[in-house]
Amino acid sequence: MSSRILIIDFGSQFTQLIARRVREARVYSEIHPPTRSVSWIREWKPTGIILSGGPNSVYDDNAPLADPAIFDIAPTLGICYGMQLMAHVLGGDVIRTNRREYGRSQVHVLEPAGLFYGFGDEPVTAWMSHGDHIEQAPKGYVVTAESNGNPIAAFRHESRPIFAVQFHPEVAHTPRGREIISNFLFEICKAEPSWTPGAFIEEEVTRIRERVGKSRVICGLSGGVDSSVAAALVHRAIGEQLTCIFVDTGLLRLHEREQVERTFRAHLGIKLVTVDAEKQFLEKLAGVEDPEKKRKIIGHTFIDVFEEAAAHVGDDVDYLVQGTLYPDVIESFSPRGGPSVTIKTHHNVGGLKEEMKFKLIEPLRELFKDEVRNVGRELGLPEEIVARHPFPGPGLAIRVLSDVTKEKLDLLRAADSLYLESIREAGLYDEIWQAFAVLLPVRSVGVMGDERTYEYVLGLRAVTSTDGMTADWYHFPHEVLGRISSRIINQIKGINRVVYDVSSKPPATIEWE
Ligand code: XMP
């Protein structure tokens, strides 16, 4: 069996980063809550175990603990709270302080081996974020690094493969953190770096074939990365048994439908049914201003249209493909109490899940977004699809900030396309997580030649982010913004003013709605 790392989540905001760093080193990893039993962990057969950080003190009433029996299952690395927990259950001395060590810290490696294999005498920068600290390592443990604020920055057992660091090797602020994680994986766990897009595709193709047998399968394509990659992967597995359905809601970006048809039908040879439902959507949306209402109408209309199209595919269809990703299914640990298992429901078009009779195939449910992109590339999907910015299910309806009409949609489509084209030409598209235009329900006065104009204001949004949960506004070079603005105002009749959104998330959201 391939190597795999079990990450136990004690509630740190960085836990997903640990999983990603491990996978970037080509070792498969999964995140699980601390409620997993020792026997469950043993059966999972981890090559190594990582205990994440977390906001608790080991002395808190409801602090999540760990059974020391897990240290007998596989080599273990404790990070931050994970380290304090190790010290606590192994008989070390964790001191509760009101003083936090937070931010960059200089760490002196005392032993250039194990986790610190390849390190020298010079201090290394590491990101700390902890309140309590370890005053004394448990008996039988050796201190392997120290920092100014914290004499015990790392320790290891003198003979067993148990290691810990007080700082966060998974964050970018610890520049040599990747080496530390690699050392854990390859020096200590002797893991194989075999988690690659190619290997994933091969395994998944076999799994899908076995599960589906001779049944027919449908997949709703949205034009986005996730459903595209899911469809291409399932097609690789079962070819002609798959039919994709693409609903043209009339709320799509410029040329989106043609692009999907070109890629899937012409390029990949996938059976594709396109449904032209623009009229239906626009009729239902007429006069509706409230964004939640818009979302509901779009969701329900989508299900109706999709079900009808699915019925036409045949009555022997058993499975529906969905592009659910790993961040949507991780059972994250909630350190502040409340339900310990929170599964985020995907707010994708229509919530097809609950309402339809099909069995689900979710071939990407173990992957992070960047991995999905790599799998897509490996499957031969063009860069214009795999590197595409995310696009919300309800489409441009939530970017027209008032009632939706065909006229407004066309205006927004043209402006949005010009905006993205300018970003591409400036070579900035891949630096930005998501960029789009919004049509504001505001008109303002302008002057064109000798004429007074009274036209729409267009809002531009561009953000950087890693997962869409938090985001910062993108700092465009001013001359690029200036060029975009004059291009849009000169070329798009109906817009005479452009504004740029400089709000971060939180407190704003990415979409305006
Ligand atoms: P917000 O606006 O909540 O958006 O900051 C976070 C990310 O989610 C996208 N988004 C959606 N994606 N269906 C989707 O598939 C939706 O209904 C939806 N609403 C927002 C948004 O574009 C951003 O990437």
Rounded to the nearest angstrom, the distance between the alpha carbon of 490 and the centre of ligand 1 is 30
* pLDDT at res. 339: 38
Tell me what the pLDDT averaged over the chain comes to: 93
Amino acid in position 436? F
Ligand 1, atom 19, lies closest to the CA of 392
Print burial letters for 320-338: b (CB count within 10 Å at least 16), e (below 16).
Answer: bbbbbbbbbebebbebeee
What average pLDDT score do residues 487-501 get? 97
SS3 140: coil
* pLDDT at res. 341: 37
What is the DSSP secondary-structure string of 21-69?
HHHHTT-EEEEE-TT--HHHHHHH--SEEEE---S--TTSTT-----GG
Ligand 1, atom 3, lies closest to the CA of 509
Atom of ligand 1 nearest to the CA of 434: 24
Name, in order, each residue with C-beta under 8 angstroms of 242's C-beta and a sequence gap of 6 or more. Answer: 216, 217, 218, 219, 231, 234, 235, 270, 271, 321
80 part of the active site = yes
DSSP 334: -
Rounded to the nearest angstrom, the distance between the alpha carbon of 511 and the centre of ligand 1 is 7
Shortest CA distance to 22 belongs to which of 34, 13, 30? 30
Shortest CA distance to 281 belongs to which of 262, 264, 265, 294? 294
Rounded to the nearest angstrom, the distance between the alpha carbon of 391 and the centre of ligand 1 is 7
Ligand 1 binding pocket, CB closer than 6 Å: 347-348, 390, 392-394, 434, 468, 505, 509-511
* pLDDT at res. 350: 39
* Model confidence pLDDT, tens digit, residues 137-152: 999 999 999 998 788 9
Atom of ligand 1 nearest to the CA of 436: 22
* Model confidence pLDDT, tens digit, residues 401-453: 999 999 999 999 999 999 999 999 999 999 999 999 999 999 999 998 889 99
What average pLDDT score do residues 105-129 get? 95
Label the pairing between strands 76-79 and 48-51: parallel
Tokens for 192? Answer: 């194989």
Q: Which of 170, 256, 378, 455 is catalytic?
A: 170
* Model confidence pLDDT, tens digit, residues 184-194: 999 999 999 99
Residue 457 has pLDDT above 80, yes or no: yes
Ligand 1, atom 6, lies closest to the CA of 468
30 part of the active site = no
| Residues 489, 485: Cα–Cα separation, whole Å | 6
Ligand 1, atom 18, lies closest to the CA of 392
Is the CB of residue 164 less than 8 Å from the CB of residue 344? no
Please, which pLDDT band fits residue 102 given cuts at 50, 70 and 90?
A: confident
Rounded to the nearest angstrom, the distance between the alpha carbon of 390 and the centre of ligand 1 is 8
* Model confidence pLDDT, tens digit, residues 248-294: 999 999 999 999 999 999 989 999 999 999 999 999 999 999 999 99
* pLDDT at res. 332: 63
Q: Which of 32, 133, 168, 235 is catalytic?
A: 168
Mutate to test the pocket of ligand 1, among 221, 227, 347 (most ligand atoms within 8 A of CB): 347
170 part of the active site = yes
Rounded to the nearest angstrom, the distance between the alpha carbon of 190 and the centre of ligand 1 is 40
What average pLDDT score do residues 470-498 get? 97
